């Protein structure tokens, strides 16, 4: 790194001019376009993150408004503020809004805004993907709420349990709005997971190895992996239920071999990890605030990191925690009960580390710390009731009562909203350059804290005496009417507190007192930037030597604002990031990223029209939209690289690095890895569904279906050897400079894929028949269709890569796209072999 160290000699007037010119150039290159067009096409991570945060708070207000109507209905027995159907609709939309449209997206927005700044990066590695995720989130939420306009509001609860949500018992379009709208919005979560994993692993500042990452960054990295594995089960469940509702498949219908409990298993495989997907980023916020206001480094840093990883891992073994009352064998209940209690251990480690840090430091009681204290009180209470629910006998007694409602809100509001508001006030001076009103800030805290506890603490009592949740009234004889009246009144107090906080934040941007930079004297890298933060974050990428660079080396502030360091020059007027080693943090590559573009918005709009055609049963429109959608994504991919881009760039005197197309550890490769993790989780969930239905069936195959004969099955399998061979030989030929041979190998892979589809699908139809006959046929065709879709995508990637090689975008040095195509073909063949074994081997031998 000696060659990359900036020259600290006395600056001359010429140096000042060069510095000013470079800053002006960076500002111009990284700026959003002017006006509304500039906002619609912006892809900068700060801009997109602020959209997520503002939209998340908007959905919080909408979901809170729904809850106020629900509380008015429950204030006294026999009220008719909402009729039973409308009450069920509000319960469904309130839970859905808070879980899917507020909690996960808003913490994702915080991560999107802060992580690049904390790790010393100028942006995220896939800015168009971030913008695309936002538009999917916004349109998914609007899609869901458009159900009010069409008079088809979902009313089956935010769990969407079958068979209640099946077309037999929910014949309208309400459940379809939920299934499609939520799945559309979840695109934002899964693409943000890919973005976050790649950003944290390969775009950290030089010197920031894994041991020096801020705890919030660790929390976001673990959360991203949890999203990659946790969201696909729900996405699959939503797809299966929508297919059943639209095309009469039989996954959840008992009369045709299905099982309604399959939905619960898939939903809670997502649902319980989601609690920790919400909590872990909030825990990261707590760590950042605690160490700053304790005015000392965090005690037990390594233990907190291990606790974050352990929490993420254990959360996937708890899904049956929510299914204790469905008739599961006692041995299984004992296992999941123990697992539910075990997850309290890593959470307790973090809490004790935070308390020890405060004890050893000199705590500074400002508004962010008030919310941290509120978090300790509320979240610990929620955790204790969670341990109570982990005991099976107690769980049976309070299942589906208001005790569970109280527990859920103590965990989610305690574990999310209090840290969220702490983080909001903590980083508000960084974002706005101003300080909020101290009196209004403190008033908002006390209104929320007192209102929340008075609203939800009584629900523990009403639940234990038997008041059921999701029911619009209760009997006077139950004796809980005064407690419900108190909960309703306190709920409005809390609502006033939330509104006061949001007003305070808005007034801070408009009327707030101009603050000094880094008013809390924090030690992490995001506070090295001037306020408000420039669009490029850092004029030069800093060199990091410790966990708390601003405490240990205050000169890093000045170094990040000079343009004589790493990437201080905007080469070719392009936006560039510095790519570093996964573990070591050493510079390895220059990553060129996209500037403002219409592509994310256009792609999301086309998907919205496609889904609109599906929900209105205008399937021709959905099919018609596939062509522009594929065209947009192909154009997106085509504009990713530049045929004339240099293979290397000098980022500092004497230090040249390859661009991402020529780098081994390129962001595109990590995007493929992240995408395949998500897709693999989706595939594993589908295989789980197959075996689950099999274990509950008296015979398999069932419904008059047969297993495909060996000859066509083996012949089809043999065709997959061609893409596998091409995935091996194609990159070898390209690396040797034989572009023509590499194109031929792409053609071989395409021929093999087409031959597999042509041989396998007709033979499968002859053996299994129509998918509507039985759950066996439904799940077999879904598995086969899942793999067939991947083969089709691989065909597109193969043809695309061949064109890129032919036109000179890919060559012996810039081999990234060939590696990606080969990697996707290998994955497609792998899941093809597993699918083939599941469909043609296991039914014969087991």
What pLDDT digit, counting tens, does each position of 629-658 carry?
A: 999 999 999 998 778 778 888 888 888 899
pLDDT recorded at residue 411: 93
CATH fold, domain 46-514, is Cytochrome C Oxidase; Chain A (1.20.210)
What pLDDT digit, counting tens, does each position of 664-692 carry?
A: 889 999 999 999 999 999 999 999 999 99
Residue 158 is given by DSSP the state T
Higher pLDDT, 566 or 12: 566
pLDDT recorded at residue 671: 94
Share above pLDDT 90 across residues of the chain, in percent, rounded to a whole number: 79
10, pLDDT greater than 60: no
Integer CA distances (angstroms), 751 to 721, 723, 787, 790, in order: 11, 8, 16, 15
Q: What is the largest CA-CA distance in the chain?
A: 87
* Structure-block tokens of residue 539: 């004029």
What pLDDT digit, counting tens, does each position of 345-372 carry?
A: 999 999 999 999 999 999 999 999 999 9
Report, as an integer, the average pLDDT of 251-258: 93
Q: How big is the chain by its Cα radius of gyration, in Å?
A: 28
pLDDT recorded at residue 15: 62
* Structure-block tokens of residue 262: 């399959």
Residue 435 dihedral angles phi and psi, to the nearest 5°: -110, 135
Kindly tell me the sign of the dihedral angle through the C-alpha atoms of 677, 679, 682, 688.
negative
CA nearest neighbour of 206 among 550, 567, 552, 533: 567
What pLDDT digit, counting tens, does each position of 751-766 carry?
A: 999 999 999 999 999 9
What pLDDT digit, counting tens, does each position of 459-476 carry?
A: 999 999 999 998 999 999
Q: Check if 46-514 and 697-845 are the same fold.
A: no
Superfamily (CATH H level) for 697-845: Cytochrome c oxidase, subunit III, four-helix bundle (1.20.120.80)
Higher pLDDT, 408 or 328: 408
724, pLDDT greater than 60: yes
* Structure-block tokens of residue 403: 């005790």
Contact between 277 and 347 (Cβ < 8 Å): no
pLDDT recorded at residue 6: 42
- Lowest-confidence range among 4-18, 171-185, 552-566, 763-777? 4-18
What pLDDT digit, counting tens, does each position of 60-86 carry?
A: 999 999 999 999 999 999 999 999 999
Pairwise CA distance, residues 239 & 233, whole Å: 10
What pLDDT digit, counting tens, does each position of 118-159 carry?
A: 999 999 999 999 999 999 999 999 999 999 999 999 999 999
Distant-in-sequence, close-in-space partners of 493: CB < 8 Å, separation ≥ 6? 447, 450, 451, 454, 455
Q: Which helix (H) or strand (E) holds 765?
A: helix 739-768
What pLDDT digit, counting tens, does each position of 425-448 carry?
A: 999 999 999 999 889 999 999 999
713, pLDDT greater than 90: yes
What pLDDT digit, counting tens, does each position of 473-528 carry?
A: 999 999 999 999 999 999 999 999 999 999 999 999 998 888 788 999 999 999 99
DSSP string of 59-94, one letter each residue: HHHHHHHHHHHHHHHHSSTT--SS-HHHHHHHHHHH
796, pLDDT greater than 90: yes
What pLDDT digit, counting tens, does each position of 178-223 carry?
A: 999 999 999 999 999 999 999 999 999 999 999 999 999 999 999 9
pLDDT recorded at residue 7: 46
Kindly tell me the sign of the dihedral angle through the C-alpha atoms of 758, 760, 764, 766.
positive
pLDDT recorded at residue 306: 97
Contact between 590 and 577 (Cβ < 8 Å): yes
11, pLDDT greater than 60: no
17, pLDDT greater than 80: no
Cross-strand partners of 658 = 648
Contact between 675 and 194 (Cβ < 8 Å): yes
Please report which confidence band the pLDDT of residue 699 belongs to, taking 50, 70 and 90 as the band edges. confident
Contact between 465 and 479 (Cβ < 8 Å): yes
804, pLDDT greater than 90: yes
Contact between 321 and 340 (Cβ < 8 Å): yes
CA nearest neighbour of 159 among 411, 404, 387: 404
Please report which confidence band the pLDDT of residue 585 belongs to, taking 50, 70 and 90 as the band edges. confident
Q: What average pLDDT is seen over the chain?
A: 92
Integer CA distances (angstroms), 828 to 514, 629, 783, 789, 821, in order: 56, 22, 13, 10, 10
pLDDT recorded at residue 631: 96
Integer CA distances (angstroms), 169 to 68, 156, 253, 295, 666, in order: 28, 10, 12, 58, 50
Please report which confidence band the pLDDT of residue 5 belongs to, taking 50, 70 and 90 as the band edges. very low
pLDDT recorded at residue 661: 86
CA atoms within 13 A on the CB side of 55: 24
Integer CA distances (angstroms), 337 to 231, 307, 380, in order: 23, 20, 19
- Lowest-confidence range among 243-252, 403-412, 619-628, 648-657? 648-657
H and E: helices and strands count for the chain: 29, 6
pLDDT recorded at residue 702: 85
pLDDT recorded at residue 2: 39
Pairwise CA distance, residues 366 & 520, whole Å: 9
Q: Which helix (H) or strand (E) holds 658?
A: strand 655-658
* Structure-block tokens of residue 179: 């299934």
pLDDT recorded at residue 338: 82
329, pLDDT greater than 90: no
Please report which confidence band the pLDDT of residue 393 belongs to, taking 50, 70 and 90 as the band edges. confident
pLDDT recorded at residue 14: 58
Pairwise CA distance, residues 390 & 106, whole Å: 29
Q: Where are the domains of the chain?
A: 46-514, 598-638, 697-845
pLDDT recorded at residue 311: 94
* Structure-block tokens of residue 661: 């197309």
Higher pLDDT, 20 or 329: 20
Contact between 403 and 464 (Cβ < 8 Å): yes
- Lowest-confidence range among 73-87, 233-247, 312-326, 807-821? 312-326
pLDDT recorded at residue 12: 57
pLDDT recorded at residue 150: 94
CA nearest neighbour of 280 among 223, 200, 355, 221: 223
* Structure-block tokens of residue 830: 């792998």
Report, as an integer, the average pLDDT of 611-620: 94
- Give SS3 for 766: helix
Distant-in-sequence, close-in-space partners of 806: CB < 8 Å, separation ≥ 6? 739, 743
Report, as an integer, the average pLDDT of 244-257: 93
pLDDT recorded at residue 319: 78
Share above pLDDT 70 across residues of the chain, in percent, rounded to a whole number: 98
Pairwise CA distance, residues 530 & 541, whole Å: 14
Residue 476 is given by DSSP the state G
DSSP string of 405-448, one letter each residue: HHHHHHHHIIIIIHHHHHHHHHHHHHHHSEE--HHHHHHHHHHH
Pairwise CA distance, residues 832 & 62, whole Å: 45
Residue 554 class from Cβ within 10 Å (0-12 exposed, 13-18 middle, 19+ buried)? Answer: exposed
* Structure-block tokens of residue 564: 């004589």
Contact between 43 and 52 (Cβ < 8 Å): no
Pairwise CA distance, residues 798 & 726, whole Å: 10
CA nearest neighbour of 602 among 629, 577, 569, 639: 629
CA nearest neighbour of 343 among 325, 324, 377, 316: 316
Report, as an integer, the average pLDDT of 272-280: 93
For residue 532, say if its preceding peptide bond is cis, omega within 30 degrees of 0.
Answer: yes
Q: Which helix (H) or strand (E) holds 753?
A: helix 739-768
> Helix crossing, 418-432 with 367-390: angle to 10°?
150
> How many CB atoms within 10 Å of residue 664?
11
Pairwise CA distance, residues 166 & 565, whole Å: 61
- Lowest-confidence range among 403-412, 539-548, 567-576? 567-576
Kindly tell me the sign of the dihedral angle through the C-alpha atoms of 490, 495, 499, 505.
positive
Pairwise CA distance, residues 244 & 251, whole Å: 7
Please report which confidence band the pLDDT of residue 13 belongs to, taking 50, 70 and 90 as the band edges. low
Report, as an integer, the average pLDDT of 13-35: 83
How far does the chain reach from its first CA to its final CA, in angstroms? Answer: 60
């Amino acid at each position: 790194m000696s060659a990359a160290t900036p020259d600290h000699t006395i600056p001359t007037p010429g140096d000042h001019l060069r510095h000013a010119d470079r800053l002006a150039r960076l500002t111009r290159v990284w700026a959003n376009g002017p006006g509304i067009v500039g906002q619609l096409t912006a892809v900068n991570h700060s801009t997109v993150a602020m959209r997520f945060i503002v939209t998340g708070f908007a959905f919080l207000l909408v979901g809170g408004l729904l809850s106020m109507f629900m509380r008015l209905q429950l204030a006294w027995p026999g009220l008719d503020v909402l009729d039973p159907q409308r009450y069920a609709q509000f319960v469904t939309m309130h839970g859905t809004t808070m879980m899917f449209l507020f909690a996960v997206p808003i913490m994702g927005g915080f991560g999107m805004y802060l992580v690049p700044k904390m790790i010393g990066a100028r942006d995220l590695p896939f800015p168009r993907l971030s913008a695309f995720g936002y538009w999917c989130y916004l349109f998914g939420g609007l899609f869901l709420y458009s159900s009010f306009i069409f008079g088809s509001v979902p009313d089956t609860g935010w769990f969407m349990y079958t068979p209640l949500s099946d077309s037999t018992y929910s014949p309208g379009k309400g459940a379809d709005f939920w299934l499609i709208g939520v799945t559309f919005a979840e695109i934002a979560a899964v693409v943000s997971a890919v973005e976050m994993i790649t950003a944290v692993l390969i775009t950290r500042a030089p010197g920031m190895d894994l041991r020096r990452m801020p705890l919030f960054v660790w929390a976001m990295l673990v959360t991203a992996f949890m999203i990659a594995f946790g969201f696909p089960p729900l996405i699959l469940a939503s797809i299966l239920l929508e297919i059943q509702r639209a095309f009469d498949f039989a996954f959840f219908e008992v009369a045709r071999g299905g099982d309604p409990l399959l939905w619960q298993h898939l939903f809670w495989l997502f649902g319980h990890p989601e609690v920790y997907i919400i909590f872990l980023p909030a825990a990261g916020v707590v760590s950042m605030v605690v160490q700053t206001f304790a005015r000392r480094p965090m005690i037990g840093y390594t233990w907190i990191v291990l606790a974050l990883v352990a929490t993420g891992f254990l959360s996937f073994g708890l899904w049956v925690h929510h299914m204790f009352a469905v008739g599961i064998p006692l041995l299984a209940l004992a296992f999941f009960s123990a697992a539910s209690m075990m997850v309290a251990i890593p959470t307790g480690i973090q809490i004790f580390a935070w308390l020890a840090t405060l004890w050893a430091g000199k705590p500074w009681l400002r508004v962010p710390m008030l919310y941290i204290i509120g978090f300790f009180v509320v979240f610990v209470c929620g955790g204790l009731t969670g341990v109570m629910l982990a005991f099976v006998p107690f769980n049976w007694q309070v299942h589906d009562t208001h005790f569970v409602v109280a527990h859920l809100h103590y965990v989610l509001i305690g574990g999310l909203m209090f840290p969220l508001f702490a983080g909001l006030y903590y980083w508000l001076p960084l974002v706005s350059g101003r300080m909020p009103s101290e009196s209004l800030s403190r008033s908002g805290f006390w209104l929320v804290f007192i209102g929340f506890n008075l609203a939800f603490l009584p629900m523990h009592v009403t639940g234990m005496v038997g008041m059921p949740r999701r029911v619009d009234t209760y009997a006077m004889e139950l004796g809980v009417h005064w407690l419900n009246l108190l909960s309703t009144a306190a709920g409005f107090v809390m609502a006033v507190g939330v509104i006061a906080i949001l007003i305070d934040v808005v007034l801070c941007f408009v009327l707030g007192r101009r603050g000094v930079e880094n008013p809390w004297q924090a030690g992490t890298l995001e506070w090295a930037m001037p306020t408000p933060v420039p669009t490029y974050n850092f004029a030069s990428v800093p060199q990091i030597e410790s966990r708390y660079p601003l405490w240990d080396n205050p000169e890093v502030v000045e170094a990040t604002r000079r343009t004589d360091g790493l990437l201080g020059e905007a080469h070719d007027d392009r936006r560039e990031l510095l790519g570093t080693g996964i573990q070591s943090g050493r510079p390895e590559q220059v990553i060129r990223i996209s500037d403002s573009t219409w592509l994310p918005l256009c792609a999301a709009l086309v998907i919205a029209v496609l889904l609109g055609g599906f929900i209105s049963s205008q399937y021709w429109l959905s099919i018609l939209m596939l062509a522009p959608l594929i065209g947009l994504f192909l154009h997106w991919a085509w504009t990713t690289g530049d045929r004339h881009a240099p293979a290397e760039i000098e980022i500092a005197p004497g230090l040249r690095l390859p661009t991402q197309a020529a780098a081994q550890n390129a962001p595109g490769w990590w995007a493929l890895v992240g995408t395949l993790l998500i897709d693999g989780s989706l595939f594993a969930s589908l295989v789980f569904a197959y075996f689950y239905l099999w274990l509950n069936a008296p015979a398999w195959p069932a419904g008059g279906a047969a297993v495909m004969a060996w000859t066509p099955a083996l012949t089809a399998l043999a065709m997959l050897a061609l893409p596998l061979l091409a995935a091996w030989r194609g990159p070898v030929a390209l690396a040797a400079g034989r572009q023509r041979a590499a194109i031929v190998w792409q053609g071989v892979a395409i021929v093999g894929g087409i031959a597999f589809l042509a041989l396998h699908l007709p033979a499968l139809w002859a053996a299994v028949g129509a998918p509507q006959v039985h759950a066996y046929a439904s799940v077999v065709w879904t598995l086969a269709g899942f793999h067939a879709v991947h083969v089709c995508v691989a065909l597109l990637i193969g043809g695309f890569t061949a064109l890129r090689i032919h036109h000179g975008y890919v060559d012996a040095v810039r081999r990234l796209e060939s590696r990606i195509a080969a990697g996707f073909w290998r994955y497609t063949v792998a899941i093809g072999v597993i699918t083939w074994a599941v469909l043609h081997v296991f039914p014969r031998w087991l």
